[in-house]
């Protein structure tokens, strides 16, 4: 992984939803939408119901959760734990 990429892992309770590299992750938290790019400060957020968009890593993906979850960022690694949901077609 290069310094200008994020390693993104999106998981649900019982399976991996998606994993790969990206330049931008946008997710809806309980206090508003957040955009994450390489070099973002470490953080932990509670996700609200909504869409998670991942782009810039060769393929753009969208995932949706109805029940929210958690998101963490550290050392250019983004982990999204969804309570439900999956990739949008």
Give percent of the chain with pLDDT exceeding 90: 79
Q: Predicted confidence band at 89 (pLDDT cuts at 50, 70, 90)?
A: low
Question: pTM of the full predicted structure?
Answer: 0.91
Query: How do residues 14-25 score in pLDDT, each as one tens digit?
Result: 889 999 999 999
- Is CATH 1.10.10.10 what the domain over 6-87 is classified as, yes or no? no
23: its two tokens: 């330049």
DSSP the chain: --TT-EEEEEE-SSSEEEEEEESEEEEEETTEEEEE-TTPPPEEEEEEEEEEEEESSSS-EEEEESS-EEEEEETTEEEEEESS-EE--
């Amino acid at each position: 992984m290069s310094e200008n990429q994020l390693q993104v892992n999106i998981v649900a309770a019982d399976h991996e939803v998606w994993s790969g590299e990206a330049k931008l992750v946008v997710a809806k938290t309980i206090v508003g939408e957040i955009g994450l790019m390489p070099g973002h400060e470490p953080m932990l957020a509670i996700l609200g119901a909504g869409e998670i968009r991942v782009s810039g890593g060769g393929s753009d993906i969208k995932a949706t959760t109805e029940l929210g979850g958690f998101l963490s960022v550290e050392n250019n690694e983004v982990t999204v734990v969804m309570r439900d949901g999956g990739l949008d077609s």
